[in-house]
A and B are shown apart, each in its own frame.
Chain A
């Protein structure tokens, strides 16, 4: 399943770092933090999507505490 979320992030480099961090999470098939469109796209298997998404949000918050996803 591939889903896109709104994602508020202030700096381009933070977006790149968030993307890197999310890609390292287990179960992530693909991830993209798009600074230009302020969107976060996550692809993961259907059955574990919720969990992977939660992990991804945590990972993003770790990189950029002020980012908002959802």
Chain B
């Protein structure tokens, strides 16, 4: 609680005691022999203690011409109650109003706190290493590019930098939601906001604090709630009319029925006061942004940055997800995917790879390098080039390469270079690029090199279908065969292949242009060269963007790591958030309407109306906090 809140709490406590005493005195009839002005005076003391700030604001605001100010309306309502001789009710109304306001402000402060706790990635200090080797603790904003910093175990990396000394595991969980620590050593880049798990690291500062990842993320999340959702716009517009309409209703209710002789003035004024009490739209106005704030917080915890409430709102309506292939579904790097020894040749996978890697050892071709890399990874050593007679190696343009291995001819290349026996047959080219191997005139087998599909993509796409996304589409510049092969493996039916970068924009536009059925289209890319498509889609989602400024700039939703499963997570969070906000709106409106009807018919008391009104606000706030929870 803040000082301000504590003060209100103490006032409430004092007045609550006085109220209890007065109620006892009133009910036992001790007060009734007193003249009315003395009774009024007795009730006015606690009334002023609890309500002086409301009255002060009401007076200031009415002098500014703010007729529909909550304080003013509350003052009128309680004055009205005093006017018709309902002293205890007037006091109760003001008391409960303040209780409700205190409750609200504590609940909002709490939710604000729990959301900013989630975002506790901001580093508090940096250990600057001076030229003489001494270490001093400074504000992260004070370090400049090129400075040397020391990071001890358990400390946050304050700015983006490069490791110059030491090795360690860094925990990126606060940024990416990824729980497996990442290993870093000399010359690796490290990102601010990560926690150094063990050992001491020295880093050289690459970016000043305000340009570092952590500062950018914090700014983004802070600003996210600046972009209003459609629901929030609707509610603020609604609130602008709600208060005047209810106030005018109160005036009519106070004046008209007595004029027609239906009910006495004292009764009609009491009913009008009830109207004034429920005229404050705060419960409505607060619950919408609070819900979205919670939803954005919940996403951030999963390593998904949502750049605005409006984007979260749109994400709830996603029914089509368009994926870029390279870099999103696949890794975008070519690697050996299959090694297929020819049947009957008696050669093992390992021998085939050894032979091919040796043969390609002197080549700089990307395919050659993939084969060499595969060999190096499997054997933890570079290929042994001793059996190769490199003076007799020659490239066969457009076909492959021929060389001598242990004195016999080794051919590596496509089907135009090598005769593959018809009994074995060619390998399906859609799987990737195929390198056939022939040694000493005998066909030995083939090595397939393909762009690798990322792990978990199939599950991610299945989970999208499971939560009701209707269409998953893959866009690619590759040819139809390769595209189809990848799409089949991950469970996508819809493939648009052979697209130039510009074609991707028009392909997405074509999908967008099918009449607004209320649903939204998301495009998922790596943000490297698909920025225009990211911007064109209803919801642009950039993947694996940790540290990539361009992607963060262009996208609406940024997934910090490489996990496509987070798309369905964020859609789920979005739907839950929107549902909670809708519940709040409907609930608050319904309760207000019920109080208005009961009030107009004279079926409720004033302090019950206050209770109902502030109660709704508190329930709406508590409900909004659910948006912050997982699942």
Contacts and interface: CB of A to CB of B under 8 A. Distances in A.
Contacts of B289: 12, 35-36
A13 B70 contact: yes
Contact of A16 (B61, B280, B285): B285
A37 B70 contact: no
Given A12-B289, A39-B222, A62 B66 contact: yes
A66 B239 CA distance: 21
A7 interface: no
A51 to B, nearest CB: 21
A13 B613 CA distance: 15
Interface in A36-59: 36-39, 41
B286 interface: yes
A13 B240 CA distance: 9
Contacts of A10: 101, 105
A12 B282 contact: yes
A16 B236 contact: yes
B285 A41 contact: no
Nearest to A11: B282
Contact of B70 (A11, A39, A62, A66): A11
Contacts of A34: 225-226
Interface string A1-30: 000000000111100100010000000000
Given A10-B105, A16-B236, A65 B285 contact: no
A66 B4 CA distance: 11
Contacts of A11: 70, 101, 104, 282, 286
A9 B64 CA distance: 18
B280 A13 contact: yes
Contact of B290 (A32, A36, A38): A36
B57 A66 contact: yes
A68 to B, nearest CB: 11
Contacts of A39: 222
Interface in B283-298: 285-286, 289-290, 293
Interface string B25-66: 000000000000000000000000000000011001100101
Given A11-B70, A36-B290, A65 B282 contact: no
Nearest to A19: B236
B220 to A, nearest CB: 12
B222 A13 contact: no
Nearest to B292: A36
Nearest to B281: A13
Contacts of A13: 70, 239, 280-282, 285-286
Q: How large is the interface on A (under 10, 10 to 19, 20 to 34, 35 or more residues)?
A: 10 to 19
A63 interface: yes
B112 interface: yes
Interface in B190-239: 222, 225-226, 236, 239
Contact of B225 (A20, A36, A64): A36
B620 to A, nearest CB: 11
A10 B289 CA distance: 15
A36 B293 contact: yes
Contact of B66 (A35, A36, A37, A63): A63
Nearest to B222: A37
Of residues B104, B112, B280, B286, which shows the largest number of chain A Cβ atoms within 10 Å of its Cβ?
B286
A12 to B, nearest CB: 4
Given A32-B226, A39-B222, A12 B66 contact: no
A20 B240 CA distance: 10
Contacts of A32: 226
B286 A12 contact: yes
Which 8 residue pairs are nearest across A and B when measured between Cβ atoms? A12-B286, A12-B285, A13-B285, A36-B293, A62-B64, A16-B236, A65-B60, A36-B225
Given A11-B70, A12-B285, A65-B60, 15 more contacts: A10-B105, A11-B104, A11-B282, A13-B239, A13-B280, A13-B281, A13-B286, A35-B286, A36-B293, A37-B225, A38-B112, A62-B61, A63-B61, A64-B57, A65-B56
27 contacts: A11-B70, A11-B101, A11-B282, A12-B282, A12-B285, A12-B286, A13-B280, A13-B281, A13-B282, A13-B285, A16-B236, A16-B239, A16-B285, A20-B240, A32-B226, A34-B225, A35-B289, A36-B112, A36-B225, A36-B289, A36-B293, A38-B112, A41-B226, A62-B66, A64-B57, A65-B56, A65-B61
Interface of B: 56-57, 60-61, 64, 66, 70, 101, 104-105, 112, 222, 225-226, 236, 239-240, 280-282, 285-286, 289-290, 293
